[in-house]
Structure 1
């Protein structure tokens, strides 16, 4: 009785390649030769080799998912907490920001308000905390306040408002930037209020505003709506004041040549 004929090396590689394509395992397909050679050098068992190959696929799949979440978030630029200079803004508590970076508040559906003047790091914190949330597996959707209100108004005119509000309600975290830069009429405020109500105590909202809450009546001209929106954004939430001193301006001034050097 003859033994089973062993397939040639090219046939084995072609079979693995085809199987990985069918099963959609791109990392296994790309690295099986490399991992096999490593397993041979280290004298790994068959199960050890298989474990190395499976873990490589899982690790790369996690990275790809994170990259997709970051892309879907729509951040205007990359910002990370590691790049934030806390020495330039001593008003901020690094330990508190580090705690927020764990994204427990996102999981709990709690709001976050970043309040301070321009140049104090609000956007950097908004984006970097949103990035941290996306990297921890949460879906994030960044939007400028004016863009959000305009999109809602267009959706209302086209009788698509419910669908648009539902879309903004699906993400785990909705960072709204530049709230308070533009005045909103009653309709705009009502539309924004509907989005906040959709997410209340269920999904997290983070906002960055250059106006203290006492000045929000300039943004939301209806006092009752203003009070209701502030309530939605502050109840059981975190309020971080980033101060009034622009470290961007201070940094720019530090780069200017002194009069004695001229």
Structure 2
């Protein structure tokens, strides 16, 4: 059997696809430049590590179920001059996740709240954190279904293991009384245990429209805003501006 055949066979058995793919090119380069064996081996292992890191990032992003792919580089900060760009870029380092702090984007529709939440979520995926993206309406439906099947505690334990939950569109769709109570329980359960990014088109004073009860609303807002980073997203609709430009 040839050396190449054995190398590819062993790489496959050991599950080293990157080494299997690049070893010939790196070996040729090492021979031409008379690279020491240790450096040649290091170059091969680096390729495998980089590929595995990339695969894990891709897996975390897929598991997060983002509705679209957005980055901070794509966001037009000039559209909202009052937005604290340096603070957002600092938050992209994800230290807030280690501290179980929240981020809240509150403001008009179309100002980029979802864009920024996805962008920060992707940064978290790149840095090794588990992320899940939900709309408020969808997570309420999931919670109500779990309650009817008597697996609500199991579901909450599962979500508590997630490093970052993104809860989008709080207040966009009216919630049932049961859905609002379950959403309250879920958010309260993550208090000081796991980070959340929340977007809403309603000021906190209007959240009674969502949770139907002033006392419950006050208790939830108190928990969510404690040690939270709050951004006011007030301005003209970014999507509307884009539509005008296209026209």
Query: Aligned partners of 2:239, 2:93: CA distance in 1, in Å?
Result: 27
Partner of 1:155: helix, strand, or coil? helix
Is there any run of 5+ residues in structure 1 with no aligned partner, and where?
1-9, 257-262
Give the match for residue 196 of structure 1.
187
2:224 is aligned with 1:233:
yes
Give the match for residue 115 of structure 1.
106
Query: Aligned partners of 1:254, 1:22: CA distance in 2, in Å?
Result: 55
Partner of 2:138: helix, strand, or coil? helix
Partner of 1:129: helix, strand, or coil? helix
2:46 is aligned with 1:59:
no
Partner of 2:196: helix, strand, or coil? strand
Partner of 1:142: helix, strand, or coil? strand
Asked whether the equivalents of residues 66 and 137 of structure 1 are also in contact (C-alpha less than 8 Å), the reply is yes
Asked whether the equivalents of residues 80 and 235 of structure 2 are also in contact (C-alpha less than 8 Å), the reply is no
User: How is 1:122-137 mapped onto 2 (pairs within 5 angstroms)?
Assistant: 122-137=113-128
Number of equivalenced pairs: 247
Give the match for residue 4 of structure 1.
none
Deviation of the 1:255 alpha carbon: 4.3
2:90 is aligned with 1:99:
yes
With structure 2 as the length reference, what TM-score do the two structures score? 0.96
2:159 is aligned with 1:168:
yes
Give the match for residue 144 of structure 2.
153
Partner of 2:233: helix, strand, or coil? strand
Deviation of the 1:32 alpha carbon: 1.0
2:170 is aligned with 1:179:
yes
Asked whether the equivalents of residues 35 and 52 of structure 1 are also in contact (C-alpha less than 8 Å), the reply is yes
Deviation of the 1:183 alpha carbon: 2.4
Partner of 1:219: helix, strand, or coil? helix
Is there any run of 5+ residues in structure 2 with no aligned partner, and where?
none
Query: Aligned partners of 1:222, 1:114: CA distance in 2, in Å?
Result: 22
Deviation sequence 1:198-217 (CA, Å, 0-9, x none): 32212101111000101111
Deviation of the 1:165 alpha carbon: 1.2
Taking only aligned residues, the RMSD between alpha carbons, in angstroms, comes to 1.3
Partner of 2:2: helix, strand, or coil? helix
2:38 is aligned with 1:44:
no
Query: Aligned partners of 1:95, 1:241: CA distance in 2, in Å?
Result: 15
Query: Aligned partners of 2:16, 2:241: CA distance in 1, in Å?
Result: 51
Larger Rg: 1
Query: Aligned partners of 2:53, 2:94: CA distance in 1, in Å?
Result: 18
Asked whether the equivalents of residues 189 and 225 of structure 1 are also in contact (C-alpha less than 8 Å), the reply is no
Query: Aligned partners of 1:12, 1:114: CA distance in 2, in Å?
Result: 58
Structure 1 segments of 4 or more deviating over 6 A?
Answer: none
With structure 1 as the length reference, what TM-score do the two structures score? 0.91
Deviation sequence 1:210-260 (CA, Å, 0-9, x none): 00101111111111111122122111111111114213223333444xxxx
- Of 164-173 and 126-135, more deviation after overlay is shown by 164-173
